[in-house]
Amino acid sequence: MHARATILPLSLDRVTYARGGETLIDGISVTIGSSSRTVVLGPNGAGKSLLLRLCHGLVAPTDGAVRWAGADAFGRRDTAGRQAMVFQRPVLLRRSALANITYALALQGRLERGERDARAREALASVGLAHVAERPARVLSGGEQQRLAIARAAALEPDVLFLDEPTASLDPGASRAIEDAIRAIDAAGTKIIMTTHDLGQARRLAEEVLFLCRGRLMEHTPAGEFFEHPRTPQAAAFLRGDLVA
């Protein structure tokens, strides 16, 4: 267990990202606090992944600012080291599952060598992967690799964990295992901000929803309210499964 997030809240101030004459993220202002799991929803191409990358500092906004607890975030090491992101197709090292985690812990530099192995084994166990600790990460199944990537990020005990489509192309059993892991990480004090295409998963995990459409933030709503009474026609159409104009 570790203390609740401290680099939060995350504030976006008119964040815009334009490229090739197209505005892909359009003046998003929002404040995201530490207290609930945040799920970013929206149709294909809405800008969900891009928004996560902007928040995490992988991409700099072309206008506006991303701030953590009020400070200008981009390029700041103190905030960068306290957040992690797991991508849709995680990049794993050509090492064992266990070594993928101990290596990340060594880079982070918070734990002594002797403590890293125990933390890494604990992280693997928390996602049901204790039995593959010595196996090369690259031979693991897609679902196992995704769980390993999440365990590796969680082992760093970040204040905030960004997850981009953590269960894309996984079967229902593997997806549920990842959902359980996400709940456990949240319960241990890490703020979760994630995207998903799976509306069932969004209903199970979301406590608040950011709904994006064509780079614009249409709704920032408690999850129950979003699913029962979407405020915008775009969100209502999205929830019905219609193509969103």
Ligand X SMILES: Nc1ncnc2c1ncn2[C@@H]1O[C@H](COP(=O)(O)OP(=O)(O)OP(=O)(O)O)[C@@H](O)[C@H]1O
Write out the residues near ligand X by the rule CB under 6 A: 19, 24, 42, 44-50
What is the closest distance, in whole angstroms, from the C-beta atom of residue 214 to ligand X in the complex? 9
What is the closest distance, in whole angstroms, from the C-beta atom of residue 76 to ligand X in the complex? 22
What is the closest distance, in whole angstroms, from the C-beta atom of residue 148 to ligand X in the complex? 22
What is the closest distance, in whole angstroms, from the C-beta atom of residue 134 to ligand X in the complex? 34
Choose between 44 and 187: whose C-beta lies nearer to ligand X. 44
Choose between 46 and 84: whose C-beta lies nearer to ligand X. 46
Choose between 12 and 123: whose C-beta lies nearer to ligand X. 12
Choose between 127 and 170: whose C-beta lies nearer to ligand X. 170
Q: At what angle do helices 97-108 and 113-126 cross, to 10 degrees?
A: 130
Dihedral (CA of 215, 216, 222, 227) sign: negative
* C-alpha to C-alpha distance for 125 and 144, rounded to whole angstroms: 12
Q: Which whole-number Å values give the CA distances from 159 to 5, 7, 165, 189, 196, in the listed order?
A: 5, 7, 19, 7, 21
Residues 81-114 as b/e (b if ≥16 CB within 10 A, e otherwise) read ebbbbbbeebebeeebbbbbbbbbbeeeeebeee
